[in-house]
């Protein structure tokens, strides 16, 4: 099946919708809090409204900072980004959420596309545990040839089926939702970084690994295979992005 590609205008529109989707909830809560302050005279209710505004403003700021690094230009072409900055914005997004972040990546200066890929894989992994759990980030290898592993652990962890080919960057359907376009964008970033992606699913665990593709793997484009063990407990999805 030929790959489906979004043109630049559609991609920009869908990514903009994704960012709006992420910040509309805390912004709406800020508005609600301001309305309570305007109408309410009770001190306790006004205190509740101020707490709501403070918390929601923090959430909106954290999500915007995350989106700026995960989806934005993030410096000039060829720029290096400290993984500590990625950890900071990721912790801001996951702080106070049902999903917790376990960051095990050392501080390194890395190419911006690699850092953007880490953050986008965090979002993809969190989609596998809508009921909450833990997203773990590991970084091994070198700054030039890293091996990234982002795992999601939680009850009934499962990556939505449509996200696998989107992470590949060769989707079998046109991205049309905020979740879809984020995975599609992650696939584009993986290709730009010259990395291959592997998704492994077990009971209550989904692990997404990205490592540099060999030249031979890149030459033929992407490949997609899926295999299941006889007991049905483990599925492995191989996504070669290049």
Contact 137/153 with Cβ under 8 angstroms? no
Contact 125/163 with Cβ under 8 angstroms? no
Domain residue extents for the chain: 8-240
State whether residue 226 is helix, strand or coil: strand
Range name among 101-105, 174-178, 191-195 with the lowest pLDDT average: 174-178
| pLDDT for the residue numbered 158 | 92
State whether residue 150 is helix, strand or coil: strand
Contact 165/2 with Cβ under 8 angstroms? no
At 27-80, the pLDDT tens digits run 999 999 999 999 988 999 999 999 999 999 999 999 999 999 999 876 655 688
pTM of the model: 0.82
pLDDT bracket for residue 214 (50, 70, 90): low
Spatial CA neighbour of 239 closest among 207, 210, 203: 210
- Considering 71-75, 170-174, 192-196, 236-240, the range whose residues carry the highest mean pLDDT is 192-196
How far is Cα 64 from Cα 159, in angstroms, rounded to an integer?
Answer: 25
| pLDDT for the residue numbered 218 | 36
CATH number, domain 8-240, options 3.30.1490.190, 3.30.565.10, 3.40.50.300, 3.40.980.10: 3.30.565.10
For helices 43-71 and 83-94, what crossing angle results, to 10°? Answer: 140
Structure-block tokens of residue 179: 């979740």
Rounded to the nearest 5°, which phi and psi values hold at 134? Answer: -130, 130
C-alpha neighbours within 13 Å on the C-beta side of residue 171? 21
Contact 211/234 with Cβ under 8 angstroms? no
Partners of 208 in the β-ladder: 150, 199
How far is Cα 56 from Cα 48, in angstroms, rounded to an integer?
Answer: 12
Task: Name the more confident of 79 and 207.
Answer: 207
- The stretch 73-92 carries a mean pLDDT of 84
State whether residue 218 is helix, strand or coil: helix
């Amino acid at each position: 099946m030929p790959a489906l590609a979004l043109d630049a205008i559609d991609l920009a529109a869908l990514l903009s919708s994704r960012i709006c989707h992420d910040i509309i909830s805390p912004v709406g809560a800020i508005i609600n809090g301001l309305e309570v302050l305007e109408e309410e005279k009770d001190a306790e209710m006004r205190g509740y409204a101020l707490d709501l505004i403070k918390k929601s403003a923090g959430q909106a700021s954290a999500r915007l900072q995350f989106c700026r690094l995960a989806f934005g230009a993030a410096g000039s072409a060829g720029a290096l980004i400290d993984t500590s900055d990625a950890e900071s914005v990721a912790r801001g997004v996951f702080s106070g959420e049902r999903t917790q972040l376990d960051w095990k990546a050392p501080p390194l200066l890395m190419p911006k596309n690699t850092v953007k890929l880490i953050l986008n894989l965090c979002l993809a992994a969190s989609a596998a545990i809508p009921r909450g759990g833990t997203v773990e980030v590991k970084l091994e290898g070198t700054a030039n040839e890293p091996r990234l592993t982002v795992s999601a652990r939680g009850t009934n962890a499962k990556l939505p089926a449509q996200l696998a080919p989107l992470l590949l960057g060769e989707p079998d359907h046109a991205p049309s939702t905020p979740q879809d376009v984020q995975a599609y964008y992650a696939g584009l970033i993986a290709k730009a970084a010259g990395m291959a992606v592997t998704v492994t699913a077990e009971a209550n665990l989904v692990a997404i690994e990205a490592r540099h593709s060999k030249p031979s793997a890149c030459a033929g484009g992407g490949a997609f295979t899926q295999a299941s063990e006889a007991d049905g407990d483990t599925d492995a999805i191989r996504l070669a992005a290049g």
